Amino acid sequence: MDNSSQLAGLEAAESKIIEYLKKIVGGAPKPDDSLAVLGVDSVAMAELTFELEKQFSIQIDDDILDVDTIRELTHYVLLRQKQ
């Protein structure tokens, strides 16, 4: 995959994640926003995990707990898609 395709995939994934987060936390989340600061607690993270698995056809494990920002979450999702 070339760089422009990778960038497009990154932007599309990030956009989907941000749109979902808008629904559960409100406001206008930005890629560098911390999930904890946005108010993503353990219940919201469980819902988010389910949604990510469904939307991106991936399997998420406990490593997701190491993710802090939306941008890191996007990279996590994209790495899972390659597995």
* 10-51 pLDDT per residue, tens: 899 999 999 999 998 888 999 999 999 999 998 999 999 999
For the chain, list the domains and their CATH numbers. Answer: 3-82 (1.10.1200.10)
Residue with token string 């990510």:
52
pLDDT score at 64: 92
| Angle made by CA atoms 52, 55, 59, in degrees to the nearest 5 | 50
Using alpha carbons, select from 30, 76, 23, 26 the residue that is nearest to residue 53. 76
pLDDT score at 2: 67
Q: Which residue has the higher pLDDT, 5 or 56?
A: 56
- How is residue 66 written in tokens? 């190491």
Determine the average pLDDT of the residues in 44-69: 93
pLDDT score at 6: 77
**Which residue type sits at 10?**
L
- State which H helix or E strand residue 15 sits in: helix 3-25
